[in-house]
Amino acid sequence: MTAIASSAVNLCDGTIRYDRSSESDSVVVLLHGGGLDNARLSWRHLLPALADVHRVYAPDWPKHGGSWPWRGIVDQAGLERCLGHLLDRWGLRSVALVGVSMGASAALGFTLAHPERVDRLVLLDPGGLQESVRMHLLSYLAVQAPWPRLTALALRPWVLRRLIQRSTFATPPADVEEIAAGVIEELRAKRNRSPYSDWQRCEIGPHRMKVNFMACLGQIDIATLVVHGAADRLVPVEIARESAKRIPNAHLHVIDGCGHWSPRERPAEVNAAVREFLS
């Protein structure tokens, strides 16, 4: 098995923790989702599945995982800016980007702004492509709530487990308890801060999403893979189908009976699809 090492890099706004596999000419950067996610949660299976062929970087986004402290707001523009700084510090001119949910939105925005720095694109259950989210007004109110006071009551471990199973997965995977434990650890690491990411708090507006790249997808001229769970309750599969139609060189892979967090719910199928595409 290829060794995976943990390291950190200091940027102007704070420290980013990341995992990295050994040297290879083919470089892949994995971008996790928002909320209570981090690199080791989303990429528990995909990182080692790619590491034997590619040089893989899997950073924790600012204010997630081990990437504390951080100054400033990490909205869509903040994510794209952070990604650019990371590529510069790692000395990478062009990479393959793999993003899930919020991470896919960051990958999309960065690709549109810096097409010369992305040679392949993988979007897993992507965010950043909807006019509105499910129960939009309620979602907006939730992310704006005074969470430091409410977190202890509303997000007890048993509540989190139930939320994970109901909203994230169509069929909870065998390691759902391990996933729940990782999510609870991420919540505790936030030390009574909001469980939502800056991206969620800034980009979910009161009436519609502030970030929506759907109309810009025709500008992406690199090979793109869109992987989506057919039973995704957070991002409808129709979004993925329309996205794949609009990106000129895109391939769509729909996973039947799978929810929003496809790399954790159906890792074998996701790993195989991504490995084949990147090779």
How many independent structural domains does the chain possess? 1
Q: What pLDDT does residue 123 have?
A: 99
H or E element in which residue 250 lies: strand 250-255
One-letter identity of residue 169: F
Kindly provide the b/e burial profile for residues 141-176, where b requires at least 16 CB atoms within 10 angstroms of the residue's own CB. Answer: ebbeeebeeebeeebeeeebbeebbeebbbebbeeb
How many other β-carbons are positioned within 10 Å of the β-carbon of residue 24? Answer: 15
- Parent domain of 227: 4-278
Per DSSP, what are the bridge partners of residue 97? 29, 121
Decide: residue 189, CB within 10 A, 0-12 exposed, 13-18 middle, 19+ buried.
middle
- In this prediction, residue 156 carries a pLDDT of 67
Average pLDDT score over the chain: 93
Q: Where are the beta strands (DSSP E) in 125-245?
A: 224-229
CA gyration radius, the chain: 17
- Mean pLDDT for back-to-back runs of 10 residues, the chain (279 residues): 91 97 94 97 98 97 96 97 98 98 98 98 98 93 72 62 84 92 87 86 97 98 98 97 98 98 98 97
Instruction: Answer whether 10's CB lies under 8 Å from 27's CB.
Output: no
| pLDDT tens, residue by residue, 114-133 | 999 999 999 999 999 999 99
The residue type of 263 is P
Give residues with Cβ within 8 angstroms of 200, minimum separation 6.
34, 35, 102, 143
- Per-residue pLDDT of 149-193, as tens digits, reads 555 455 666 777 777 878 899 999 999 989 988 998 998 888 767
Give the per-residue pLDDT at 187. 84
pLDDT at 228: 98
221, 121 Cβ separation under 8 angstroms: no
In this prediction, residue 129 carries a pLDDT of: 98
pLDDT of residue 8: 98
Residue 2 near residue 80, CB atoms below 8 Å = no
Kindly report the CATH number assigned to the domain that includes residue 55. Answer: 3.40.50.1820
pLDDT for 155 equals: 61
Predicted confidence at residue 1, as pLDDT, reads 66
What is the pLDDT at residue 107? 99
Q: Looking at residue 165, what is its pLDDT?
A: 78
Q: What is the pTM of this model?
A: 0.96
Task: Give pLDDT, residue 154.
Answer: 54
Instruction: Give CA angle at 258 (40, 208), nearest 5°.
Output: 80
